[in-house]
Every structure is written in structure tokens, then in C-alpha cells.
């Protein structure tokens, strides 16, 4: 039995090395990830597959998804790495089904039932604050706390029409306040009024504006907030009734480099990349066989019942309602 196991392991290693040596050609990646973890992940992939030429374009999730849709007759990219899975799910017709080699260690809650995307990092939401402007006692700890008049015009929040994470935050707030028919939209209107008309173009700006002291509070995601662990002037809170929709990765339908896209999906959900992204960039691993380092376990967070189907299938209507609130206020 031991001899058989050894032979199988040797065969697997030979196959892996052979696959790496055989991989060649190009790969074009679209990604909304921050520059450092994005470039680190690509560097690891290129080290594993040195004969694959990698190009990437970084932009917001909404912009990239619109680009994928516009290019659908002649795709220019192969894979979308990142973006909230509910945003990806709204664009499923533009993705290619693929069952990752790592499918067995990723929970069903973090992957598409039709294999059109797979999660690569769960993303709890956080309320990020500047400690020189907000005391720990006064720091908001719930979504409702963001309606306090003393924070009017002092909250950094990105446009959900442009940012995938801001869209997930919007849906989380609606669901946490009773849903679209139960007071959720009334809450969102009050929240927008407390923004005092100030909405950011990019979710990446939200944590930066708080860290610089231009805003007191930012609605952002865990992976951005934890990068400031060495900055004594900022801190963050996991709000109650939170969500942990994962960043996803998806292969673009009819992409020019399908086999390399499959390799990339397997790589970013694989052990090496997942460990590196967690250890160096504090991105939460999606794999069930990895515990997050330096992050609170999901089991310790107060998570709301996130209606994934509603967020995905009603995205256009939800964004239209958000725009309507802006126009009317």
C-alpha cells in the first residue's frame, strides 16, 4: 500500500512538473485587486509557469465587468481575478464553466453551482476609522451607527455602480435592515443623506482617505483594512449583521488562452498562492484546509443571511434604485 502511494505521489509530481514545462503562450488577466497582492500573485504564477507571458489590466470591478461584456464578441482577456462573487454572478453569461482542481476543498457557499466562478477569498466588511478623529468608544459598530448626524459628510463610501465591494456593502445593509421590502431601502436613503453627497469613484480610495485623515470613517473590506496593521492612527470594527461574500475568479467565455486560464484558476485557489496571499497580504484563504493567519475566524463574526440570488439577479434594478436615491437627494 505504501509503495502504491509513493508511486502515485511520484506520478503526480511528474505530471505537475510536466504541466509547468508544457505551459506556454500568453495569459491576460483583468483584476480589481490592490497592486501589491495582485503583482505578488502574478509573480508566483510566472515562477511556476515561466513560459507563459502574463499581462494584466487593473481597474474597478464594475468597469472590468462592463469591459468583459463589451468585448464578448472578441474577448481580449482570459480571466477575471477578483471582484465580489455576487457581481460576477450577475455577468455569468460572459464566463466559461470550469471545475477547478481545488474544487473539493472549497465550500459550496463559495462557488457557483454551474461552475462559472469560484471563490478565492471570503471578504467580511469592516468599518475603518481614523483614531485621531474618532475615539474607540465612539467608533461605529453597527450599520445603524453610520446614520449618526455627527458623521455627516465624514464617511468614505464608494459608488456601488463602480465598485464590486461597495455593491456587496449596499446589499448587506439592505438585507441587515429587513430586506428590500422591509425597510432596507429606507435605511439606504438615510445613509446616503449622511454621506452629504460625497461618493467615491473607487473602493480603494475609502481606506486611503481615512488613513490620511480626510475622512473619519470608511466603509471598506477586511483585506484593505488589515494592510494598516502597523499604523497606530487607524483601526477597524467588524459590524454586526455582516457578510463574507468571496472575491471570485472566473474564466472569460471564448477567451483566447483557455488552457492557461484554467492553470491560473487552479493556481490562485491552490495552496501556494493561498498561503502567500494570507501571510503577506492578509487575504483570507477560501480553502477549508487552511486556517486564516492574523484574522478572526468567520465563526466569530456576526453574519447576516446574505441573499446571493437576489444580489446577483437584481443587480441592475438595485443600482437603478441607488441612482434614483442620489437624484432625489
Q: Which tens digit of pLDDT belongs to each residue from 141-154?
A: 999 999 999 999 99
Average pLDDT, the chain: 92
pLDDT tens digits, one per residue of 65-123: 999 999 999 999 999 999 989 889 999 999 999 999 999 999 998 999 999 999 999 99
Shared domain for 105 and 133, answered yes or no, is no
Q: How far is CA 262 from the centre of its chain?
A: 20
Residue 266 clears pLDDT 70, i.e. is over it? yes
Listed residue (59, 103, 101, 98) closest to 250, CA to CA: 98
Shared domain for 266 and 314, answered yes or no, is no
pLDDT band at 20 (very low <50, low <70, confident <90, very high): low
C-alpha cell at 197: 453627497
pLDDT at 309: 85
> CATH no. for residue 167?
3.40.190.10
pLDDT band at 140 (very low <50, low <70, confident <90, very high): very high
Shared domain for 112 and 191, answered yes or no, is no
Instruction: Return the HEC string of 114-178.
Output: CCCCEEEEECCEEEEEECCCCCCCCCCCCCHHHHCHHHCCCEECECCCCCHHHHHHHHHHHHHCC
Shared domain for 253 and 232, answered yes or no, is no
- For the chain, give the percent of residues with pLDDT over 90: 82
Residue 191 CA to residue 151 CA, distance in Å, equals 10
Is residue 210 within 8 Å of 156, Cβ to Cβ? Answer: yes
Listed residue (85, 89, 34) closest to 203, CA to CA: 34
Shared domain for 178 and 288, answered yes or no, is no
| Partner residues linked to 29 by β-bridges | 56, 79
Shared domain for 162 and 311, answered yes or no, is yes
Shared domain for 256 and 156, answered yes or no, is no
pLDDT at 305: 86
pLDDT band at 46 (very low <50, low <70, confident <90, very high): very high
pLDDT at 71: 98
Residue 44 clears pLDDT 50, i.e. is over it? yes
Instruction: Return the HEC string of 57-71.
Output: EECCHHHHHHHHHHC
Shared domain for 49 and 80, answered yes or no, is yes
Shared domain for 208 and 313, answered yes or no, is yes
Can you give the residue range of the structural domain that contains 100? 2-123+246-295
pLDDT band at 16 (very low <50, low <70, confident <90, very high): very low
Total domain count for the chain? 2
Shared domain for 27 and 61, answered yes or no, is yes
Shared domain for 152 and 30, answered yes or no, is no
Shared domain for 98 and 207, answered yes or no, is no
Amino acid at each position: 500500500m505504501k509503495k502504491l502511494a509513493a508511486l502515485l505521489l511520484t506520478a503526480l509530481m511528474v505530471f505537475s512538473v510536466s504541466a509547468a514545462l508544457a505551459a506556454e503562450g500568453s495569459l491576460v488577466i483583468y483584476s480589481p485587486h490592490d497592486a501589491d497582492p495582485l503583482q505578488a500573485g502574478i509573480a508566483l504564477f510566472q515562477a511556476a509557469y515561466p513560459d507563459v507571458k502574463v499581462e494584466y489590466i487593473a481597474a474597478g470591478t464594475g468597469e472590468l465587468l462592463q469591459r468583459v461584456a463589451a468585448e464578448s464578441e472578441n474577448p481580449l482577456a482570459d480571466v477575471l481575478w477578483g471582484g465580489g462573487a455576487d457581481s460576477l454572478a450577475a455577468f455569468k453569461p460572459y464566463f466559461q464553466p470550469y471545475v477547478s482542481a481545488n474544487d473539493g476543498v472549497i465550500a459550496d457557499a463559495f462557488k457557483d453551482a454551474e461552475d462559472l466562478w469560484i471563490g478565492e477569498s471570503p471578504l467580511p466588511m469592516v468599518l475603518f476609522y481614523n483614531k485621531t478623529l474618532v475615539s474607540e468608544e465612539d467608533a461605529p459598530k453597527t450599520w445603524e451607527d453610520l446614520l449618526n448626524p455627527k458623521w455627516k459628510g465624514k464617511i468614505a463610501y464608494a459608488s456601488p455602480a463602480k465598485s464590486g465591494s461597495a455593491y456587496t456593502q449596499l446589499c448587506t445593509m439592505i438585507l441587515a435592515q429587513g430586506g428590500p421590502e422591509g425597510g432596507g431601502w429606507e435605511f439606504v436613503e438615510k445613509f446616503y443623506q449622511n454621506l452629504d453627497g460625497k461618493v467615491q469613484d473607487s473602493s480603494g480610495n475609502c481606506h486611503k482617505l481615512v488613513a490620511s485623515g480626510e475622512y473619519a470613517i470608511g466603509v471598506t473590506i477586511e483585506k484593505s483594512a488589515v494592510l494598516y496593521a502597523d499604523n497606530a492612527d487607524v483601526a477597524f470594527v467588524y459590524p454586526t449583521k455582516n457578510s463574507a461574500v468571496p472575491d471570485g475568479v472566473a474564466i472569460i467565455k471564448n477567451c483566447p488562452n483557455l488552457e492557461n486560464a484554467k492553470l491560473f484558476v487552479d493556481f490562485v485557489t491552490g495552496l501556494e498562492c493561498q498561503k502567500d496571499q494570507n501571510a503577506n497580504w492578509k487575504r483570507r484563504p477560501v480553502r477549508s484546509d487552511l486556517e486564516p493567519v492574523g484574522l478572526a475566524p468567520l465563526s466569530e463574526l456576526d453574519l447576516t443571511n446574505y441573499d446571493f440570488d437576489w444580489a446577483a439577479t437584481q443587480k441592475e434594478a438595485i443600482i437603478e434604485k441607488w441612482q434614483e436615491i442620489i437624484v432625489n437627494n
